[in-house]
Amino acid sequence: MDRRSFIKLTAVTGTGAALASCGNPENDFIRFIPDEMIVPGVAVWKPGVCSLCPAGCGLTVRVMDADADVVRDGQAGIVRIAAAKKLEGAPDHPVNHGGLCARGQAAIQVTYHPDRITQPLRRTGERGDGLYEAVSWDDALAEIVSRLDALEGAGNQGSLTYLTRVGRSHRAALVRDFLVRFGAPPPVAFEIFGDDVLRRANALSFGREQLPTFDLANAMYVLSFGADFLGTWNSPVAQNVAYGRMRQGRRGVRGAFAQVESRMSQTGASADEWVPVRPGTDGVLALGIAHLLMSTGAYPSDAAGRAGALIEGWAAGLPGYAPEDVERMTGLEAARVEGLARQFSDARPAVAIVGGAPLAHSNGLFTALAVNALNALVGAPGRDGGIFFTPQLDVAAAVQSGSPAQPAVALESLVTEGLAGGASPEVVFVDGANPVFTAPPAWRVREWLEQVPYIVSFGHFLDETSILADLILPDHSSLESWAEALPESGAVMAVASIAPPVMRPLHQTRATPDVLLEVGRMLGTPLALPWETFDELLGASLAGLPSASGSGALADARQAGVWSGELPAGLAVADSADTSPASVPVAFTAPEFDGDADEYPFHFLPYSSNAFLDGSLAHLPWLQEMPDPLTSAMWSSWVEINPVTAERLGISAGDVVEVTSAHGTVRTRVVVSPGIAPDLVAMPAGQGHRTFTRYASGRGENPVELLAPMTDAATGALAWAATRVRVTRVGPPDGRLILFAGSLREHGEEHR
Amino acid sequence: MPQWGMAVDLDRCTGCGGCVVACHAENNISTVGDEQAAVGRAKHWLRIERYWEGDFPDVRLKFRPVMCQQCDNAPCEPVCPTYASHHTDDGLNAQVYNRCIGTRYCANACPYNARFFDFFNPSWDKPLQLQLNPDVSLREVGVMEKCTFCVQRIRAAGTQAKAEERDVADGEIQPACVQSCGARALVFGDLENPSSEVSRLSRSPRGSKLLEDTGAQPSVTYLSRLTQV
């Protein structure tokens, strides 16, 4: 026996004796027991999966020893734990290839956040007061089970509603299975900056109801309609990796890139050509380009197949979209339309991207279908430098759950029905979603939730939605539990990002999938979910997948944090059944806006914040203090206004203004930006939380509070870019717009 | 003796800011909060600068990540009365925190505004201190701090290579910013080694140094963003 083992042994035996005599000060011995074998000062690297957005990037987590205040088996003490220290992108991951965005870097602060909910809580005050008492897991689970049993006793299982976020994963599949077996409707997912319009368009155009993957690395020309694909949209790290290769990864070849948008995004800043068009007319430009491509004879109209047949007038070569027509509708000079068409035609392969604001208008589906048709015309689907659809693992088929898929209900219709006196849920489970913050106020989500008799939240933090909960069952962080995602896009091959826990839980939390499985077993009529724990489900799901090492796909994933490869027949999600062309081909309809143009002279554009996305990351201090790429603002909210407009309104940089729509008013500070159209004002989402930890509460303003409940006519999706506002100066700068670049000498270096 | 340097390809950089947060995470840079940030005390060893050109609709915006340029002829070094700011054999502008008495002469001399003064002792709301990197010392009140090219990673790789009786391989050392960059805009390596990637990029006709006419001889080369019309 060497010295080290001897010390360990005495520590363990000594503490064992101490623990046996509970309540004794000798229990302080607990500090000598390491949680696991870890050599002080020596780092080990473990795989992980970033869970802050649905992209599913792989992580490599640096783990070292650290002293943590923990509670173990009811006892508080300092324990030497193996603690995550730094998150890096996993070098060989097929989505992020070693890269990691700012948000992913900050993901570690979720685990170590000082305002995390550390144990189950039961509400004691009024809803929204934030007064809770600690309860044991046994009591909490008994309470939730009795509520669900009561629903079953009344034959009212359908009145359980599960609010969650968009994202494909085994966890989502488990939730769905739980609900189906219980007899409840499928989960209700809501994203303010969601992509339902594009998914729907892709189902119609290409038979795949999912977000596309772009082979930018091999593209010669990229034409993006409003998609912030290098910042916040779709799979940003995968797209950054590919973008770098497109620009400088091929010897002597540099792909070109044009961005169509009327407020310069972080992505638009990298474009060779920046093309502002009137809001809601992006699809017209796409068809104008298609018209020119077809009129040269280089691209026959039938090359676009089904995607083209969805557009009215396509077979005739889109006669209504001559450059002059496009100029009249979009405000873009005919000569520039011709120039874009020439580049799109000459630089092969070319690919078009659409996402974000162009699809958030009343004619969003038309715009998406128009860009899809343009891509189909040049043969982009499935070719190098074009667009792909990442094959998707069909979890239901893989685990043979046999639960039939049911169409999901939209949050808006559920809320509207409930508030109109129709069916309203008896029990609501909230899992990661914060619709009170992210849904337009006109939907009255908070009012709807307040009339729900019983709300359970699985969240890590008190936010505007979970503060209404009667019971909080905090989840582990993604570093403390099995982390996984089934990326919808970002790779050409199928990907399952799966990694075991990186570290032991810091607090008295439990993994939500395991909680659901346990609740399923405890119910009066057990749900007979065939897995004891979540990792059994993962094992069952991956059992049918080929393994590179031969030791099984789950074992591979444990090692590498990812499985990627060819999906066996029967385990891939089939092409969308919705393959029939729309009965009536779609045509451009002028976008509709909420608010009279005289009273509300500006279009209003809320946008996904580079730091906080829709606001779900505003609680992380690193992201609060990260200067915004376009403005250098930190810890702040602002509204961007064109310099000419600002001068006309007598507004200077930093002034306090009121931005008012027909639905609300926010008071914020002005950034005068040359990168925005004179008839448009824009605000980043993310700030303006009333309740969301010490770092985000009461900070800045939420642009969603101004939004009208406008929808895309064809899909019913929220048209979040279709509100009009007016801007009124209230006063001089009040010091609440904080800029990092305020005192830096950044001028004078402008012509590099 | 290697001479460490970096190449920043502005044609790849998309201004995403991943490097900025990676730097905070690796180097235990404390956040100062809104009130102190408002008076210019936020610390970002690496920042993304932005240059607007033109007016709407013919407007352009260019990003430039700026960190300590690890100058060969560093203006920050000779002004330091305590030799806290000094030059290492492998070409780094080192900052010895224990020697620093906070005159801030170096920050005044730095043409890049790359140095940041600690106006407070750092603090983290528990348990955020668990995120701290044990390889990087915390800076106390009254000292100057700045980008080190992640010297802890350089030294660790050097020690490892020495133990294995070999040279450090090109690409073996990645500062945190370089490692996080998805677009591969940042490349780090030995400028003395003519076949290293950073040497190759630094010789690019697109390359230039920031504020070259100050004579500081930076070790960071910026490769210009191309324009295509």
Peptide bond into A349 cis (omega under 30): yes
* A491-506: pLDDT as tens digits: 999 999 999 999 999 9
- Please determine, for residue A11, whether its predicted confidence score (pLDDT) is greater than 60: no
Contact in structure between A669 and A442 (CB atoms under 8 Å): no
Q: Mutation test of the interface with chain B: which of A622, A745, A747, choosing the one with the most B Cβ atoms within 10 A?
A: A622
pLDDT-derived band at A404, boundaries 50, 70, 90: low
What is the predicted pLDDT for the residue at A25?
45
Instruction: Kindly determine whether residue B127 and residue A506, on different chains, have CB atoms separated by under 8 Å.
Output: yes
Distance CA B59, CA B126 (A): 45
Distance CA A455, CA A128 (A): 12
What is the predicted pLDDT for the residue at A298?
86
* A454-484: pLDDT as tens digits: 999 999 999 999 999 999 999 999 999 999 9
Give the helix ranges, DSSP H, for A81-136. Answer: 102-106, 108-111
Instruction: Kindly determine whether residue B44 and residue A735, on different chains, have CB atoms separated by under 8 Å.
Output: no
Q: Is B24 on the interface with A (CB under 8 A)?
A: yes
- What is the DSSP secondary structure assignment for residue A438, as one 8-state letter? H
Amino acid at A495: V
Peptide bond into B127 cis (omega under 30): yes
Structure tokens at A745: 């000498």
Chain A residue closest in CA terms to B111: A745
Contact residues on chain A for B182, CB-CB shorter than 8 A: 89, 96-101, 236-238, 240-241, 244
Distance CA B55, CA A673 (A): 9
Amino acid at B170: D
- Please determine, for residue B209, whether its predicted confidence score (pLDDT) is greater than 80: yes
Q: Is B7 on the interface with A (CB under 8 A)?
A: no
CA distance, residue A93 to nearest chain B CA (Å): 12
Structure tokens at A574: 């089939």
Tell me the helix, strand and coil percentages in chain A, rounded to 5: 30, 20, 45
CA distance, residue B15 to nearest chain A CA (Å): 6
Q: Where are the domains of chain A?
A: 1-29, 34-196+394-583, 213-388, 602-743
Q: Which residues of A711-724 are buried (b: 16+ CB within 10 A; e: fewer)?
A: bbbbbebbbbbbbb
DSSP A584-608: S-B---PPP-BS-TTTS-EEEEEE-
Contact in structure between B127 and B23 (CB atoms under 8 Å): no
The ipTM estimated for the assembled molecules is 0.97
- Residue A407: is it exposed, middle or buried by C-beta count within 10 angstroms (0-12/13-18/19+)? exposed
Distance CA A525, CA A182 (A): 9
What is the predicted pLDDT for the residue at A169?
95
Nearest to A243 by CA among A92, A630, A234: A234
Chain B residue closest in CA terms to A275: B57
* A405-439: pLDDT as tens digits: 677 789 999 999 999 998 899 999 999 999 999 99
Structure tokens at B35: 């009130």
Contact residues on chain B for A644, CB-CB shorter than 8 A: 56
pLDDT-derived band at A520, boundaries 50, 70, 90: very high
Residue A512 falls in which region: left (phi positive, over 0), alpha (psi -120 to 50) or beta: alpha
The chain-wide mean pLDDT, for chain A, equals 91
Instruction: Kindly determine whether residue B37 and residue A240, on different chains, have CB atoms separated by under 8 Å.
Output: no
What is the predicted pLDDT for the residue at A21?
43
DSSP A458-526: --SS--TTGGG-SEE-PPPPTTTS-EEE--SSS-SSEEEEEE--SS--SSS---HHHHHHHHHHHSSS-
- Please determine, for residue A19, whether its predicted confidence score (pLDDT) is greater than 80: no
- Please determine, for residue A752, whether its predicted confidence score (pLDDT) is greater than 50: no
CB pairs below 8 Å between A and B: how many?
Answer: 242
Instruction: Kindly determine whether residue A112 and residue B131, on different chains, have CB atoms separated by under 8 Å.
Output: yes
Distance CA A503, CA A16 (A): 23
Instruction: Kindly determine whether residue B126 and residue A69, on different chains, have CB atoms separated by under 8 Å.
Output: yes
- Residue A3: is it exposed, middle or buried by C-beta count within 10 angstroms (0-12/13-18/19+)? exposed
Nearest to A681 by CA among A716, A647, A714, A721: A721
- Please determine, for residue A29, whether its predicted confidence score (pLDDT) is greater than 50: no
* A170-212: pLDDT as tens digits: 999 999 999 999 999 999 999 999 999 999 999 999 999 999 9
Contact in structure between A530 and A520 (CB atoms under 8 Å): no
Q: Is B213 on the interface with A (CB under 8 A)?
A: no
What is the predicted pLDDT for the residue at B159?
95
The DSSP bridge partners found for residue A666 are A659
DSSP A322-345: -HHHHHHHH---HHHHHHHHHHHH
Contact in structure between A68 and A79 (CB atoms under 8 Å): yes
Q: Which residue has the tokens 């006793």?
A: A153
pLDDT-derived band at A79, boundaries 50, 70, 90: confident
Q: Which residue has the tokens 């992380």?
A: A620
- Please determine, for residue A27, whether its predicted confidence score (pLDDT) is greater than 50: no
Structure tokens at B34: 């809104």
- Residue B98: is it exposed, middle or buried by C-beta count within 10 angstroms (0-12/13-18/19+)? exposed
CATH code matching the domain that covers A602-743, chosen among 1.10.3720.10, 2.40.40.20, 1.10.3210.10, 2.60.40.420: 2.40.40.20
Contact residues on chain B for A97, CB-CB shorter than 8 A: 182
Contact in structure between A339 and A276 (CB atoms under 8 Å): no
Contact residues on chain B for A113, CB-CB shorter than 8 A: 128
Q: What are phi and psi of A606, to 5 degrees?
A: -80, 145
Q: Which residues contact A10 (CB under 8 A, 6 or more apart)?
A: none
* A534-582: pLDDT as tens digits: 999 999 999 989 988 888 888 988 899 999 999 998 899 887 765 555 5
Amino acid at A354: V
Percent of chain A with pLDDT over 90: 84
- Please determine, for residue A445, whether its predicted confidence score (pLDDT) is greater than 50: yes
Nearest to A86 by CA among B158, B182, B23, B33: B23
> Which helix H or strand E contains A301, and what residues bound it?
none
CA distance, residue B84 to nearest chain A CA (Å): 24
Structure tokens at A33: 């027991």
Q: Is B229 on the interface with A (CB under 8 A)?
A: yes
Contact residues on chain A for B183, CB-CB shorter than 8 A: 99, 230, 240-241, 243-244, 247
pTM, full prediction? 0.94
Instruction: Kindly determine whether residue B38 and residue A738, on different chains, have CB atoms separated by under 8 Å.
Output: yes
Percent of chain A with pLDDT over 70: 92
Residue B168 falls in which region: left (phi positive, over 0), alpha (psi -120 to 50) or beta: beta
Residue range B196-221: average pLDDT? 96
Domains contained in chain B, CATH given: 4-223 (3.30.70.20)
- Please determine, for residue A18, whether its predicted confidence score (pLDDT) is greater than 70: no
* B129-182: pLDDT as tens digits: 999 999 999 999 999 999 999 999 999 999 999 999 999 999 999 999 999 999
Q: Is B44 on the interface with A (CB under 8 A)?
A: yes
* B73-128: pLDDT as tens digits: 999 999 999 999 999 999 999 999 999 999 999 999 999 999 999 999 999 999 99
CATH of domain A213-388: 3.40.228.10
Residue range A31-48: average pLDDT? 76
CATH code matching the domain that covers A34-196+394-583, chosen among 3.40.50.300, 3.30.300.30, 3.10.270.10, 3.40.50.740: 3.40.50.740
pLDDT-derived band at A603, boundaries 50, 70, 90: very high
- Please determine, for residue A31, whether its predicted confidence score (pLDDT) is greater than 50: no
Instruction: Kindly determine whether residue A99 and residue B53, on different chains, have CB atoms separated by under 8 Å.
Output: no
What is the predicted pLDDT for the residue at A551?
86
Chain B, window 73-102: residues with a beta carbon less than 8 angstroms from a chain A beta carbon? none
pLDDT-derived band at A234, boundaries 50, 70, 90: very high
Better-scored residue on pLDDT, A39 or A161: A161
Instruction: Kindly determine whether residue A105 and residue B128, on different chains, have CB atoms separated by under 8 Å.
Output: no
